[in-house]
Structure 1
């Protein structure tokens, strides 16, 4: 007999499949928001994912083995939890093995760090990542070249504006919102409001909460208010990989 958790996973995967079918015959949704979560924080599995599933939202979780990932399993996810996120229909993205700034690495060092996460994903039956997040939001021309050669479709950097698929390079796309302790609901609403006229609001979060990195912490209650606003606005909330579907609809 399947466990309740297994039935929830099946239901969520089915909903994702139905959403994909619906997109194939619909026009571009009026307000599109991408949720991204950095740094493999434990609360992604224990708090964030259940809340997103409750609302029917997609998201991308950018995985790194940097910081204290290997030794602190109270504050960082296990690969089994990451595997479950994938099983639940969320996207697993690449945030490099060591979380080192790409502009400070030699091309071969960056290649090793990128490939390591790809190999770990393969080990746990997770698809090869097509989305990347630059550690510390730093980009470099060699890094963009490497990602393009390895088949990455999207890479999130920093900034404070919506992504414009018609003009922005998808391998250096900006974020519209970066969740911090002093971020407000009004700021989040303003970022959501940018998702119009073909623009997509890409939102960045770290832990909810993020005990080890308080400077990027998001309070769970505040995060719930953000998600409720997305629900009330009727936003289509997706993973970064699904931006490809949006681009296809826009071309049609």
Structure 2
């Protein structure tokens, strides 16, 4: 892990590196401890309530649940939570984030629909006694900077993407969040759990949480009975949380980043660090496992 992060810095010219250091210093409010992770869960899966919730409570971990009414959420309560269950997650102290009303991928073509998509979830939150969301997850991991202003207007402080484009979507791999380098509205997933993941895949993701970097983890259901290609088995998920507990990790919600990171400090171009990482990966020799 250290090698490619160091390589990223070497890719930057001295003047750019100095500017990035200044951005990092301004972005960080409080020292970021090693082994700090953010747990996030997408798509309103029913197992978030039946499986994930009790395990998080057992270990005392925080988390963000990104809620959408997309797919067949309104009629299918075999695979998706009810709003009453979502409210219970809030009452337990977990964060409820916004994943758009219809799970709409936000691109330059669809960004005009973003206000109503955000408002649809915010209004349901209000109706069920849940605060308006201050975090967002990009549906389908599609994104455009044309959405930034709307997100800010709707009170969104932090937004999470996937591990792409640095890594292929199918691998579920990614980079840890680097405040000052990564835009707070384009926070990468250090890992996006998949059915074939083993504990080693999870460990590879979370061990990036050091030296001022925060590992933001993306999950769907455990299991995800509606979307098997992003599902985690209950057994695997329990093993992941047990590892975090045994190894002394602190797990927080995405909103809790504000303790450490100033959400109004942004890089000049969110793509700079992404391109640096991609070039670093392209320059690395391939291993047998890859």
Give the TM-score of the pair, scaled to structure 2: 0.75
CA distance in 2, matches of 1:75, 1:195: 32
CA distance in 2, matches of 1:74, 1:192: 31
Larger deviation, residues 156-165 vs 137-146: 137-146
Matched, 1:53 2:67: no
Aligned counterpart for 2:102 among listed residues 80, 93, 98: 98
CA distance in 2, matches of 1:35, 1:143: 24
What is the Cα deviation at residue 97 of structure 1?
Answer: 0.4
For 2:66, what is the secondary structure of its paired residue?
Answer: strand
Matched, 1:216 2:230: yes
RMSD: 1.5
What is the Cα deviation at residue 163 of structure 1?
Answer: 0.2
Aligned counterpart for 2:190 among listed residues 176, 191, 198: 176
What is the Cα deviation at residue 105 of structure 1?
Answer: 4.6
For 1:120, what is the secondary structure of its paired residue?
Answer: helix
Unaligned residue ranges in structure 2 (runs of 5+): 1-29, 164-173, 263-290
Aligned counterpart for 1:40 among listed residues 35, 39, 44: 44
CA distance in 2, matches of 1:131, 1:207: 19
Alignment length (residue pairs) = 224
* Over 6 Å off, 4+ runs: none
Equivalence for 2:175 = 161
What is the Cα deviation at residue 49 of structure 1?
Answer: 0.6
Equivalence for 1:118 = 122
Contact 1:29 1:236 in 2 (8 A): no
Matched, 1:187 2:201: yes
Deviations 1:56-101 (A, max 9, x none): 0000000000001000011100000000000000000000000011
What is the Cα deviation at residue 145 of structure 1?
Answer: 2.1
Contact 1:175 1:202 in 2 (8 A): yes
CA distance in 2, matches of 1:145, 1:104: 13
Larger deviation, residues 138-147 vs 197-206: 138-147
For 2:104, what is the secondary structure of its paired residue?
Answer: coil
What is the Cα deviation at residue 247 of structure 1?
Answer: 2.3
For 1:62, what is the secondary structure of its paired residue?
Answer: strand
What is the Cα deviation at residue 229 of structure 1?
Answer: 0.8
CA distance in 1, matches of 2:67, 2:38: 17
Aligned counterpart for 1:246 among listed residues 249, 257, 260: 260
Matched, 1:237 2:241: no
Contact 1:110 1:143 in 2 (8 A): yes
Contact 2:108 2:146 in 1 (8 A): no
Deviations 1:8-55 (A, max 9, x none): xxxxxxxxxxxxxxxxxx964321000000000000001101000000
CA distance in 2, matches of 1:138, 1:197: 29
Unaligned residue ranges in structure 1 (runs of 5+): 1-25
For 1:37, what is the secondary structure of its paired residue?
Answer: strand
